[in-house]
Structure 1
Amino acid sequence: MTQQLPVLKEKKVKTNTSRKLLFILLILFVVLLAVLFFRSSMSKISEIHITGNQLIPNQQLVEKSGLHIGDQFFGTSKGTIRERLLENKAVQDVKIELKFPGVISISVQEFSTVAYQMSPTDGKITGLLSNGTTLPLPKDHILVEKPILTNWKAGDALLGKLCKQLGEIPDELLTDISEIMPDPSKSYPDRIKMYTRSQFEVLTTISLMKDKVEYLSNVIETQQPGLITMLTADTYRPFDNTPWGTDLEKDTTQ
């Protein structure tokens, strides 16, 4: 009787060493690619686009953002850029978009321009924003139909309140107002005098202006040029029919 010999199993070739070597080579290859990429122009900021600004110069916004052409694109923080730009008192909101490769687009929303102010010394015109901020106008800026503020002292607290009120009034109700000047009295410390392009003269206060402006618009559309008083009571007197020394004249000096 013959005895069957057991079949010997073939020894498996160990491949752990070769796999480790392949993995190390792969890591080195990836690192090399990363180094080459971050040293190439594709990983750097190549363009910075600024849109939406009307009074703030582009260069001023770029400098404030801290961005430079050639900086690392992937090291750019949108939150940091936004915080820097919002430090400018004229900036209301900022939106930032990163576009690979290397393009950064910044959309700036300024506080709305509500009026202009002319310097009594050199005649230069500055823009006043709805939050009271004053900015010089660019040379190519086109003046729109906004009131001109005259005879206001620098640092007057009422000037900021006036700008805020103007910012809350629809543009269509302000287009006819050409000039606003302070005209305080004992009874109304924040009283102002306004002139319109349709040749009306208006007396009101900063605090009442927002609530009274619709009445002003209605009178201008339906009446001849005259004096409109919008204080505790609203009155209208055409210039031709206003006798000298009437109660209306007394009202304007209180």
Structure 2
Amino acid sequence: MVDEHVPPFRNRVGKKRSPSPWIFAFIFLFFTGALFAIFLRSPLSKIKKIEVTGNQLVPAEEILARTQLKKGVSFFGVQSEEVIERLSALPEIEQVRVKKTFPDKISISIREKEHAAWFETKEQKRFPILSDGTILSHRLLSSQQNQIAFTDWKCSDPLLKSAVREIAKLPDSIKRTIRKVKPVSDHRDQVEIWTDRYHRIFVRVEDLSQKMSYYPSFFNHPRGTLFLLESIWFIPETSKRAS
């Protein structure tokens, strides 16, 4: 009678439950995370090359100092948006692009605002002027560049910015001939322009970009003075001496 209440023995050999797939996933993630942590601490994750292109006014050393980038810094610690924000704050820079190339290269592409001319002080110090008329008084030019010089001006003169903006509108074929732009003391609305063709031109600032379009027709004229005012006339240097 006792045997009837004892359940029969069931042979479970060969029916073991297979390990859960979550265990393998956990093991995989654990070792992947460990390897990644080791990689972050190794020299393999450090920046080895930093490339800066497109800059002319702003030295590469200043760009790197402002972005706090240098070789040996963690590649993954560099935030492109932060680099762009820091560099865009510079008045010379119009656009910044940052490219991270795994595992160790950072490329910074700079597009600066147009450098239209340079401003010369009484002490003959030269500073760049952007096409919007902004004088970069913190950017001393070490050598004279083949660009238009604004001389005898005061930095605060509102006519200066207007003149720069008008000059920036000119085609390159005309801008390349201009060497110097000066204010006219007895006619505050006018400027005196000197060219590499030994011509002196008087024109009102508000008409500058329009009236200077006539200048190419005087390219082959001898030395002299050209008036681009209500009427247009030219006085050769010899005629001036004769008078």
Q: Fold-level match, TM-score > 0.5? A: yes
TM-score (norm 1): 0.80
Contact map agreement 1:199 1:226 (CA 8 A) in 2? yes
Q: CA deviation at 1:71?
A: 2.9
Q: 2:37 aligns with which of 24, 35, 38?
A: 35
AA partner of residue 108 (structure 1): I
Give the corresponding residue for 1:86: 88
Q: What's the offset of the Cα at 1:208?
A: 1.2
Asked if the contact 1:193/1:201 (under 8 Å) is kept, the reply is yes
**Which stretches in structure 1 are left out of the alignment for 5+ residues?**
1-7, 246-254
Gaps in structure 2 of 5+ consecutive residues: 1-9
Q: TM-score, normalised by structure 2?
A: 0.83
Q: How many residues were matched structurally? A: 231
Equivalent of 1:12 in 1, 11, 15: 15
- Residue pair 1:90, 1:133 contacting (<8 A) in 2 also: no
Shift of 1:184: 5.4
Query: Deviation at 1:74?
Result: 2.5
Deviation track 1:102-155 (CA, whole Å, cap 9, x = no partner) reads: 21111212122221222212x22222221223343454x6722x2211111122
Cα distance in 1 for residues equivalent to 2:232 and 2:63: 46
Tell me how far apart the structure 2 counterparts of residues 165 and 148 of structure 1 sit (CA, whole Å): 14
Q: Which amino acid aligns with 2:230?
A: T
What does the per-residue CA deviation read over 1:164-188, in whole Å, with 9 as the maximum and x for residues that have no partner? 22222222212222211111556xx
Judged with a 3 Å threshold, the aligned counterparts in structure 2 of structure 1 residues 9 and 142 are, in CA distance, closer, same or farther, namely: farther
Residue 41 of structure 2 aligns with an amino acid whose one-letter code is R
User: For residues 125 and 9 of structure 1, do their structure 2 counterparts lie closer, same or farther at Cα, with a shift above 3 Å needed?
Assistant: same
Give how far 1:31 is off: 1.1
SS at match of 1:16: coil
Instruction: Tell me which residue corresponds to 2:172.
Output: 171
- Shift of the 231–42 alpha-carbon distance from structure 1 to 2, 3 Å rule, reads farther
Instruction: Tell me the residue number matched to 2:3.
Output: none
1:199 aligns with 2:198: yes
Distance of 2:108 and 2:224 partners within structure 1: 48
Whole-angstrom distance in 2 between the partners of 1:233 and 1:193: 16
Map 1:145-224 onto structure 2 (within 5 A): 146-183=147-184, 189-221=188-220, 223-224=221-222
How many angstroms apart in 2 are the aligned matches of 1:231 and 1:80? 51
RMSD between superposed Cα atoms in Å: 2.6
Aligned to 2:130: 129
Report the counterpart of residue 111 of structure 1 in structure 2.
Answer: 113
What is the CA-CA distance between 1:193 and the residue it aligns to? Answer: 0.7
Q: CA deviation at 1:72?
A: 2.6
